[in-house]
A = this chain, B = another copy of it.
Amino acid sequence: MAANSRLTVAVHVLTWMALVKGRGRDVVTSDQIADSVNTNPVVIRRSLGELRKAGLVEALHGAGAGWRLLHEADAITLLDVYRAVETEPLFALHRAEPNQKCPVGAGIRPALEEVYDGAETAVRGALDGTSIADVLRGTLAGRAG
């Protein structure tokens, strides 16, 4: 399975919500979103739950229940979404502690962490430059906007 598709699903969810909000419908259900993403509504609710914890959407209960965007599409960057759904670092360190009696085994982990932090920062910077509104424009135009 390699990399996961959580960022893809979450961005799709928000992009779809932005689209239909522009058509005047600002409260939508996980079933409706699932129809566009082509997956199970529970998968969508799980994604929306993470976006809710990040303050990007809110859930409404009772009659007419559903989900609503809390910010304008151009105020939500893919970095916001990344932070909301991605917990693990890009690269894992050793599964087992390396040999501490070896100079490399004893010292390589902090050295790698510094490099990996730089890579992580680079990714975040790249994602920070694109908003949900950009993705929506690119989606409708056939480009990333």
Q: Judge whether A107 and B142 touch: CB under 8 Å.
A: yes
Q: How large is the interface on A (under 10, 10 to 19, 20 to 34, 35 or more residues)?
A: 35 or more
CB distance from A109 to the nearest CB of B (A): 9
Type the 1/0 row for A1-41, where 1 means its CB is closer than 8 Å to any CB of B: 11111011101100110010000000000000001111100
Q: Is the interface of A mostly helix, strand, loop or mixed?
A: helix
Q: Judge whether B38 and A108 touch: CB under 8 Å.
A: no
Q: Judge whether B11 and A112 touch: CB under 8 Å.
A: yes
CB distance from A62 to the nearest CB of B (A): 27
How many copies of the polypeptide does the oligomer hold? Answer: 2
- Closest chain B residue to A127, Cβ basis: B119
A64 within 8 A of B: no
Q: Judge whether B94 and A37 touch: CB under 8 Å.
A: yes
CB distance from A12 to the nearest CB of B (A): 6
Q: Judge whether B144 and A115 touch: CB under 8 Å.
A: yes
Q: Judge whether A102 and B16 touch: CB under 8 Å.
A: yes
CB distance from A85 to the nearest CB of B (A): 10
Whether A90 touches B90, Cβ cut-off 8 Å, given contacts A108-B15, A108-B135, A125-B122, is yes
CB distance from A25 to the nearest CB of B (A): 14
Leading 6 A-B pairs by shortest Cβ distance: A114-B144, A111-B138, A2-B88, A122-B122, A107-B139, A122-B126
